A and B are shown apart, each in its own frame.
Chain A
Amino acid sequence: MKKLSLIVAGVAALAAASVAQAGTLEDVRAKGFVQCGVSQGLPGFSNPDDQGNWAGIDVDLCRAVAAAVFGDANAVKYTPLSAKQRFTALSSGEIDILSRNTTWTMTRDTQLGLNFAGVNYYDGQGMMVPTALGVNSATELDGANICTNTGTTTELNITDYFRANGMSFNLVAFEKADEVVAAYDAGRCDVYTTDRSGLAAQRTKLTNPDDHKVLPEIISKEPLGPVVRQGDDQWFNIVRWSLNAMINAEEMGITSANINKLTYNDKTPAEARFIGTEGKFGEELGLANDWAYKIISQVGNYAESYDRNVGPNTPLKLDRGVNALWSQGGILYAAPIR
């Protein structure tokens, strides 16, 4: 009888656990934090510092969502995921948001049961080679050994590129980025390929970063963005508009430094809507009306996040390029809050 009751109890517990699937917002509220899937350490995007605090523009997005939901950007727990674990972790409900330099592609959007809530970094796949190789263009790479990660779009893109150019190559695909870097550093491969932002980030881990160069070719479009489960529009909207709020704030000139002045001084109608003193935009999302105020005051706008994590003053030294606002020559464009 004892055994049987144990079994029955076990089955009942499993049944209870499965119910938690429908409303991500209620789940998140109930547990008191956002579970955020991040990389296993990609400087600038999601990387733990020596005290274990995560930082990066992907991390900032999770913090923005936490600020919008709880009014506390620190109400986030992080799950480091390899490229191949990430979608399974999201669809199984282990995490609430996947914010892990993930490329938005049609297959992923339509076949994996997931939705991309926007783009927080427009990237493209590039290649890095040792300078000593004397190669100036990717078209000279016939017969090269290429190191990359498994479970990413990079494997497909590099295969397409070499096929399209009628070149042969050998692909050595590792599960974790750290092993790719170590193998490339040891000379196993002539070429390391991943997103160009990733190259800039991983390059800092090489023994002699200056002995390597990134080739000029950009062989793919890699719009990186946060991912949520399909079928929960409310949560999808919260994530999408948390990102939009950060981009809109930059466009409106609202920063973490000046947003508190807005509350007292004269403000334009758009600013009033943004910080929640006019309209009920937060309530429509199922949040408090000052949701965007909390995001900007605690996390900052998109430009602040960019400059802090990947901009020219960081080891990654990435210019804004296409990631500048649409009004400043880039393609970053967020729908208005109204």
Chain B
Amino acid sequence: MSRPSSLIYDRQARSLVFQVLLILALVFGAWWLGSNTLVNLAAQGKTLGFGFLTQTSGFQINATLGTWLMEYNVGSSTYLDVYVIGIINTFLVAALGIIGATILGFTMGIMRLSKNFVIRSFATVYVEVLRNIPLLLQLFFWYFAVLRSLPNRRGQIEIFEGAAGINITGLYLPAPLPQDGAGIVGVAFIVFVIAAFWIGSWAKKRQYETGQRFPAFWAGVAIIFFGTALVYFVMGQPIDWSFPVFKDTGPLLRRGFQIGNGMAIIPEFIAVWLALTLYTAAFIAEIVRAGILAIAKGQTEASYSLGIRPGTTLRLVIIPQALRVIIPPLTSQYLNLTKNSSLAVAIAYPELVSIFAGTALNQVGKEIEMIGMMMIVYLTFSLLTAAFMNWFNARVKLVER
């Protein structure tokens, strides 16, 4: 047995003591936060609990995908429905934003490396302007730019006569109304998509083995399109279409697009989606550019010397290798985009922060529970995105030789 004082000089004992102390401090901190919260809540006569979720919410929500999916109805819908609507709307704008930002970002990133001066400069100006202006300002800019540039509610710009039009209250498109048998069309669509992918991999395999090429992409598109159309007509057209109705006679207030006909995409959504897409695309463009520049020039030269054309070189040689560099920072951008979607509260897009942590919170006053529920949603979205991107990253890595 050594003397206790020698423990100070024992590296292992010392680190153990500090680790225990750190854990104690954390536990104490958590306990203190919890008990302090309870004491303060009690002092204000408030309780914790999730009973409010079954209360009916007494407020209208701007018509969006969420209210449509949840069949939101004031007087019977609950705060839980409001929560789900918020999640759906947040997910919608985040998912579409990620798709838009990826496409635009890759395009801009490749354009920045173009040999053409005009294209290169355009991409440079785009990146430098968009990524250096705060997102909230861009949000306001796009929102009011969208509002100011569109005809007012009594007028419209017709896109397809009687089928699609746009004015300040939104973009109006035909809405599908599934009838009996529509599910089979949906299943058929999925089957054809799988078939198209299968053809793609078959064509690839055949090209490796025999060198013969097959227009797999166009074949796939044709199968999905004509196959689905065939099933649709065989089933007796089980999808009715609701077309937007535009009235330009009668009392002024009644003119314009009529509520309940067709599908309306509100300008708030368009503005949020535009702002998130354009802003994040600027960052993605830089990531893509960095990823491509990280690939040694010899790869391009080798590809060219084999007689592969520049476009194909980019697609088959450079991008697959660059993806290894691109994906980790790209994941961060996707996470940022999802979290940035909460700024939409500023321009009346009814997403989670706006309707649940805003309107609903003010009605029921359960700050701790509601903010907690909101944080869980963002955390889940982010972790799912990260998990998917990690899986994709691992897959891309395996392709490397």
Q: Do A and B bind each other?
A: yes
List residues of A whose CB falls within 8 A of some B CB: 1, 4, 7-8, 11, 14-15, 18, 21, 83-84, 87-88, 91, 107-108, 111-114, 132-135, 140-145, 147, 150-152, 155-156, 158-160, 162-163, 168-176, 179, 182-183, 186-188, 190, 229-231
For the A-B complex, the count of residue pairs with Cβ-Cβ distances under 8 Å equals 150
B398 CB–A CB distance under 8 Å: no
Most buried by A among B58, B169, B361, B363: B363
B11 CB to closest chain A CB (Å) equals 14
CB neighbors of A among B54-112 (8 A): 58-63, 74-75
Q: Are B43 and A187 in contact (CB under 8 A)?
A: no
Q: Is the CB of A151 within 8 A of B25?
A: no
B331 to chain A, nearest CB (A): 30
Docked Cα-Cα span, A163 to B44, in Å, equals 34
When chains A and B are docked, how far (Å) is the Cα of A87 from the Cα of B366? 11
| Complex alpha-carbon distance, A7 and B21, angstroms | 10
| Distance from B189 Cβ to chain A, minimum over Cβ atoms (Å) | 32
Q: Which residues from chain B contact A14 at a C-beta distance below 8 Å? A: 29, 32-33
| Contact partner, A150, options B28, B169, B253, B359, Cβ 8 Å | B359
In this complex, what residue of B is CB-closest to A111? Answer: B365
Say yes or no: is B252 at the interface (Cβ < 8 Å to chain A).
yes
* A158→B351 CA distance, assembly (Å): 21
Q: Smallest CB-CB separation from A112: which chain B residue? A: B365
Q: List 19 A-B contacts (CB under 8 A).
A: A4-B18, A21-B40, A83-B362, A107-B364, A111-B364, A132-B252, A142-B253, A150-B355, A151-B362, A155-B59, A156-B58, A160-B58, A170-B63, A173-B355, A174-B348, A175-B345, A179-B140, A186-B148, A190-B153
Bound CA span A108–B363, Å: 8
Residue-wise, chain B 166-187 has the 8 Å CB interface mask toward A (1 for contact) of 0011000000000000000000
Contact yes or no, B346 A175, CB < 8 A: yes
Q: Given A4, A112, A176, which contacts B22 in the complex, CB threshold below 8 Å?
A: A4
Report A-chain residues with C-beta under 8 Å of the C-beta of B53: none
**B354 & A168 in contact (Cβ 8 Å cutoff):** no
A229–B44 touching, CB < 8 Å: yes
- Asked whether, in the complex, the Cβ of B363 is within 8 Å of the Cβ of A183, the reply is no
> Which 10 pairs across A and B sit closest by C-beta, in order of nearness?
A113-B44, A151-B362, A171-B60, A112-B365, A155-B59, A186-B147, A150-B358, A174-B348, A187-B152, A113-B46
Given contacts A111-B365, A144-B253, contact A172 B18 (CB under 8 A): no
Hey, which chain B residues are within 8 Å of A158, CB to CB?
60
User: Does B268 make an interface contact (CB < 8 A)?
Assistant: yes
Task: Please indicate the chain A residues that have their CB under 8 angstroms from the CB of B74 in the complex.
Answer: 159, 163
B254 at the interface (CB under 8 A from A): yes
CA distance in complex: A172, B269 (Å)? 12
Q: Select B354's contact among A8, A175, A230, beta carbons within 8 Å.
A: A175
A183 adjacent to B59 (CB under 8 Å): no
B44 touching A231, Cβ below 8 Å: yes
Task: Point out the residue from B259, B362, B367 that lies within 8 Å of A152, measured CB to CB.
Answer: B362
Establish whether residues B25 and A188, one from each chain, have CB atoms under 8 Å apart when the complex forms.
no
Query: A18-B36, A88-B367, A173-B359 in contact; A187/B253 too (CB < 8 A)?
Result: no
Residues of B near A142 (CB, < 8 A) are 253
Q: Once the chains are docked, how many angstroms separate the CA of A143 from the CA of B258?
A: 8
Which one of A1, A162, A188 lies within 8 Å of B147 (CB-CB)?
A188
By a CB distance below 8 angstroms, the chain A residues around B258 are 143
Q: Does B45 contact A (CB under 8 A)?
A: yes
> What residues make up the interface of B, taking CB atoms closer than 8 Å to A?
18, 21-22, 25, 28-29, 32-33, 36, 40-41, 43-46, 58-63, 74-75, 140, 144, 147-148, 152-153, 168-169, 251-254, 258-260, 266-268, 345-348, 350, 354-355, 358-359, 361-365, 367
Q: Closest B-chain residue to A107, C-beta based?
A: B363
Q: Which residues of B contact A230 (CB under 8 A)?
A: 43-45
Chain A residues positioned under 8 Å from B144 (CB to CB): 182, 186
Given contacts A7-B22, A150-B348, A150-B359, list 11 more A-B pairs with CB under 8 A: A4-B18, A4-B25, A11-B28, A18-B36, A84-B359, A140-B253, A158-B60, A168-B259, A171-B61, A173-B359, A174-B346
**A171 close to B253 (CB less than 8 A):** no
Chain B contact residues: helix, strand, loop or mixed: helix
Please name all residues of chain B whose beta carbon is closer than 8 Å to the beta carbon of A231 when the two chains form the complex.
43-45
Q: How far is the CA of A171 from the CA of B44 in the complex (A)?
A: 33
> A91 contacts B44, CB within 8 Å?
yes
Minimum CB distance partner of B365 in chain A:
A112
Complex CA gap A132/B152 in Å reads 13
Is B44 a contact partner of A173 (Cβ separation < 8 A)?
no
**B residues near A229, Cβ cutoff 8 Å:** 44
Are A169 and B46 in contact, CB atoms less than 8 angstroms apart?
A: no
List the B residue with the shortest CB-CB distance to A186.
B147
Given contacts A4-B21, A4-B22, A175-B346, contact A169 B60 (CB under 8 A): yes
Are A11's CB and B29's CB within 8 A?
yes
CB distance from A211 to the nearest CB of B (A): 13
Minimal beta-carbon separation of A307 from chain B (angstroms): 32
Q: Are A84 and B361 in contact (CB under 8 A)?
A: yes
**A15 surroundings in chain B (CB, below 8 A):** 32
Residues of B within 8 A of A171 (CB): 59-62
Question: With a CB–CB cut-off of 8 A, which chain A residues contact B18?
Answer: 1, 4
Whether the pair A133, B253 counts as a contact (CB closer than 8 A) is yes
Asked if residues A159 and B58 are in contact (CB atoms below 8 Å), the reply is yes
In the complex formed, the residue of B with least CB distance to A90 is B44
Contact B147 A187, beta carbon cutoff 8 Å: yes
A79–B142 Cα gap in the complex (Å)? 29
**Inside 8 A of A179's CB, which chain B residues have their CB?**
140, 346-348
Instruction: Establish whether residues B268 and A172, one from each chain, have CB atoms under 8 Å apart when the complex forms.
Output: yes
Set of chain B residues within 8 Å of A186, measured between Cβ atoms: 144, 147-148, 168
A108→B365 CA distance, assembly (Å): 8
Q: Which of A150, A169, A174, A188 contacts B267 (CB 8 A)?
A: A188
B147 and A190: CB pair below 8 A?
Answer: no
Residues of A within 8 A of B44 (CB): 91, 113-114, 229-231
